[in-house]
Structure 1
């Protein structure tokens, strides 16, 4: 890609450089398109898990709540991004970091709200606020805890996040949990809508370039939306009704759903804050390496972590979910070669405007769950793939295989069979059945306490003889 019309190579590597507006605005919107669907999806999933309903033809019950959660996802992604790009005091990396609603917390949030409606939201948002404040505290010592979260742990956690959520994608594509006992669940019509999204997304990712490739998931969902409209899965009247119900402009309301302290929510969000903080450190490093060809400074890493926590805490006050840096935008910076933080600031302003207009959230709410399912299958599958990619940095000796095996078996097993711990106290049971937290805790503790001298011993007794002695050997690093 030629950059001469945007700026000189030195300018492009400078976070403080601002391209001409006719270039900066499309680049900023490009960042929004890259993360838009991923940003609002957690709000839709949590609303669905709580029982708010889907689709333009759903009843009025739950309409304002689901629309509001989508609205807050957009608004506070934009505000948290401004914390990063503009910054104040110790808050913000002053780098082109795009913030958005984190997938990592979804496995924690679903057990907290499952089937409980809006009554579960005060405790949920109490956990978001406290977890965000704790995340800010982590910024004071983030550099000192990275040793406890090597690729073995972070790769396992990211893989577990994806594995916890792939079921959601399949259920959505088949028709959604509320329809699980209906004859339409799993019908060819439902799956065809999801497959349209998947095929269009794949086609654009592999055969298109530039803006089309970056916006593949958004365009895929738009194609699925049009298909659903043509097949009668949604109606123009239903879309118009949703549009008409929503106010033209609405401001966020502090403590709209109240505020409660829940042990399970607070512990869950605080523990996941460690994982989110390390993820942000990786993204900051990726941005400075890919965009400026240098390592991230300690001030940038600390500032980014402060902004992560503050963005989450402020979002929780108004009914938003935890925010984190978005990795897909890190790749976009490497692709465009434009390191300007002011470009991302323009994207943040666009997100804030969308968040102040409930009609945007109302239209998003009309997306059929089957269409969303196609996008979710792609997104959460990519989360699993990202985790596996991180695990490729692990030296697969006996010690690391045992740690991974035990953490994955217990975490995934508890997630698949929640009744296995039905006699635990409610708060502990919710944390355990998330699967993610027990897996992360087991991996962290075992990695810290198991001696390294186990590393060079044979692996046959734990791998069924599949230790490998050729390409991809398990006793050596998988990367050369």
Structure 2
């Protein structure tokens, strides 16, 4: 049971449960921690796509719209209007799974002589219609209970957490583009940030635990500046306000580039089920039964609706992020009302770009130190689900093959480069490869001593005397 007053909450419990309403000050503090944890992840896909397609002129506006739609989508997920959304803290942003399909669409338009605006018109057009794949799928999740079993979701969540740890390590070393990657100064400030978060997360004072991430990032950033590991960048070139304009770059469509994007929507729906299930566990919500299915279906529906909004307002598809699950775990704040604060903060960062530029001042190694613990918490949530599964020969086989393929792709992502583009995009990430493997094996392998639909209750066969 969670307590409404932080000073009374033991460190092993939630400070604010899902339906608790924190005071505005506590809610804003918790919201800022979520924003700090996800900010770089929200803007990075846009930076990558713009860099590949040469969208330098459009980039500032694209980033602003990405943050704005992320805020609106996060608010919808938390508020759950008309049953749209999971009713939890679910940060929205663009999954890296979309990058290859989106850039391929843009490159096709450029090869045909199209301008940067033409490329964006095509991208947002196919993403608009692709969102309906997720919307329709969300209405049938209740019929897919045999697919999304605790075994499958546990495997997917664990792979998500482990694969994201690489992102944390890359940031800890200074970022992939620096020449002195892994310099002692980077490791020192990142390690200091991680140490502060760990210590404060186990403090007796719930207020220290509530603010552990903010304090860790603040101290790490100040130390990085003071020691010359990182510096402050000028903000003079940032526009004051970004005005949302629906379909600013036009609207176009092509079946040849739509199909890969539609498949990625399907894959990210599976990822979202894993992320939402992890959120349920950390937020002390059930992961079985009608209420769970209602929450998961609403969350996937929210992803689809938010992706529609993203296409309308000139940014890339939205999906539920994993980062905030780690923040909930560390801070002890699961209140969905905090999610509404997070949405408002991200909205303001999008409408007023100079505010977002301030957050970009956090040095990469400092952020990496915090991300390592957050992503590790996601993997731990997956392991917690697997601990509830009967580990018979069938379950161990599915786990072994799914982890082997998923984490194998993570270590050598180039292994599928020789495959056709469509197939390579479908299984080219560790999460999609591991998820598809787990789902197929879970459906195809017979359950020992029981019908397939009763997989969760299956007991290992006992040898006769």
Following superposition of structure 1 onto structure 2, how do residues 297-308 of structure 1 map, counting pairs within 5 Å? 302-308=297-303
Provide the C-alpha distance between the structure 1 equivalents of 2:227 and 2:274, rounded to a whole number of angstroms.
Answer: 45
**What is the aligned partner in structure 1 of residue 240 from structure 2?**
248
**Counterparts in 2 of 1:143 and 1:357: CA distance versus 1, 3 Å:** same
TM-aligned CA deviation for residue 153 of structure 1: 1.1
1:255-295 CA distance string (max 9 Å, x none):
567776354333122222133146436646876849xxx98
Q: 1:77 aligns with which of 63, 70, 78?
A: 70
TM-aligned CA deviation for residue 216 of structure 1: 2.2
**Counterparts in 2 of 1:351 and 1:160: CA distance versus 1, 3 Å:** same
TM-aligned CA deviation for residue 206 of structure 1: 1.7
**What is the aligned partner in structure 2 of residue 270 from structure 1?**
266
1:233 equivalent in alignment to 2:233 = no
**Counterparts in 2 of 1:396 and 1:301: CA distance versus 1, 3 Å:** closer
Q: Which runs of 5+ in 1 are unaligned?
A: 6-11, 54-60, 456-473
Structure-2-length-normalised TM-score: 0.75
Q: Is the 8 A contact 2:152 2:435 kept in 1?
A: yes
Q: Is the 8 A contact 1:73 1:101 kept in 2?
A: no
TM-aligned CA deviation for residue 29 of structure 1: 1.2
Q: 1:422 aligns with which of 391, 411, 417?
A: 417
1:393 equivalent in alignment to 2:392 = no
1:321-345 CA distance string (max 9 Å, x none):
5232754576699x569x6x66654
**What is the aligned partner in structure 2 of residue 136 from structure 1?**
135
TM-aligned CA deviation for residue 186 of structure 1: 1.7
SS for the counterpart of 2:261 is: helix
**What is the aligned partner in structure 1 of residue 148 from structure 2?**
149
1:453-478 CA distance string (max 9 Å, x none):
279xxxxxxxxxxxxxxxxxx979xx
1:366 equivalent in alignment to 2:361 = yes
Q: Is the 8 A contact 1:126 1:265 kept in 2?
A: no
Provide the C-alpha distance between the structure 1 equivalents of 2:416 and 2:208, rounded to a whole number of angstroms.
Answer: 47
1:99 equivalent in alignment to 2:94 = no
Provide the C-alpha distance between the structure 2 equivalents of 1:127 and 1:380, rounded to a whole number of angstroms.
Answer: 31
TM-aligned CA deviation for residue 49 of structure 1: 4.9
**Counterparts in 2 of 1:355 and 1:49: CA distance versus 1, 3 Å:** closer
Structure-1-length-normalised TM-score: 0.73
**Counterparts in 2 of 1:123 and 1:372: CA distance versus 1, 3 Å:** farther
Provide the C-alpha distance between the structure 1 equivalents of 2:62 and 2:380, rounded to a whole number of angstroms.
Answer: 28
**What is the aligned partner in structure 1 of residue 27 from structure 2?**
28
Provide the C-alpha distance between the structure 1 equivalents of 2:242 and 2:188, rounded to a whole number of angstroms.
Answer: 36
Provide the C-alpha distance between the structure 1 equivalents of 2:3 and 2:413, rounded to a whole number of angstroms.
Answer: 54
**Counterparts in 2 of 1:111 and 1:390: CA distance versus 1, 3 Å:** farther
Q: Is the 8 A contact 1:415 1:433 kept in 2?
A: no
1:189 equivalent in alignment to 2:185 = yes
Please give the root-mean-square deviation of Cα atoms over the aligned residues, in Å: 4.1
Q: Is the 8 A contact 1:257 1:319 kept in 2?
A: no
**Counterparts in 2 of 1:308 and 1:193: CA distance versus 1, 3 Å:** same
Q: Which runs of 5+ in 2 are unaligned?
A: 7-15, 111-115, 451-458
Q: Is the 8 A contact 1:24 1:346 kept in 2?
A: no
Following superposition of structure 1 onto structure 2, how do residues 35-50 of structure 1 map, counting pairs within 5 Å? 35-46=34-45, 49=48
1:225-271 CA distance string (max 9 Å, x none):
111211223334x2xx2x21112221234456777635433312222
Q: 1:446 aligns with which of 441, 447, 451?
A: 441
1:432 equivalent in alignment to 2:427 = yes
**What is the aligned partner in structure 2 of residue 217 from structure 1?**
213
**What is the aligned partner in structure 2 of residue 58 from structure 1?**
none
1:122-158 CA distance string (max 9 Å, x none):
7776675455332221232222213211122111111
TM-aligned CA deviation for residue 450 of structure 1: 0.8
Provide the C-alpha distance between the structure 2 equivalents of 1:413 and 1:111, rounded to a whole number of angstroms.
Answer: 22
Q: Is the 8 A contact 1:52 1:63 kept in 2?
A: no
SS for the counterpart of 1:133 is: helix
**Counterparts in 2 of 1:431 and 1:393: CA distance versus 1, 3 Å:** same
Q: Is the 8 A contact 1:132 1:322 kept in 2?
A: no
Provide the C-alpha distance between the structure 2 equivalents of 1:200 and 1:113, rounded to a whole number of angstroms.
Answer: 39
**What is the aligned partner in structure 1 of residue 455 from structure 2?**
none
TM-aligned CA deviation for residue 431 of structure 1: 2.9
Provide the C-alpha distance between the structure 2 equivalents of 1:231 and 1:51, rounded to a whole number of angstroms.
Answer: 33
SS for the counterpart of 1:244 is: coil
